[in-house]
Amino acid sequence: KNEVEQSPQNLTAQEGEFITINCSYSVGISALHWLQQHPGGGIVSLFMLSSGKKKHGRLIATINIQEKHSSLHITASHPRDSAVYICAVNYGQNFVFGPGTRLSVLP
């Protein structure tokens, strides 16, 4: 069974700050996903990673397969980044989600 943990659970930042959200998992995976969920429930897939690093705008995601760890970074954070960020992993034929990190960015 794969356990997925995220830290921190909650995060409050000032606009413009650099933010890091961490995800760790216990069993080898085929892919890791970062998802963003806004109030109201809509989920957007931000990244899918199997190795290395990906960048999209102000968002950067990295994964270290050996250490079973991934990070999501947000540069120059903005209030519109306020959302729950969820890490999810594929292993075998399953999809396991982390508990999410609730981010609030204050103006």
Partner 1 sequence: KAGVTQTPRYLIKTRGQQVTLSCSPISGHRSVSWYQQTPGQGLQFLFEYFSETQRNKGNFPGRFSGRQFSNSRSEMNVSTLELGDSALYLCASSFRSKTERLGQTQYFGPGTRLLVL
* Residues engaged in binding partner 1 (CB under 8 A): 30-31, 33, 35, 41-45, 48, 50, 86, 88, 90, 93-100
Closest CA to 59 of 91, 81, 32, 38: 81
Nearest approach in angstroms of CB 27 to partner 1 is: 14
Cβ nearer to partner 1, comparing 77 with 88: 88
Whichever of 12 and 94 has its CB closer to partner 1, that residue is 94
Of 17 and 102, nearer to partner 1 (C-beta) is 102
3 state SS for 22-65? EEEECCCCCEEEEEEECCCCCEEEEEEECCEEEEECCEEEEEEC
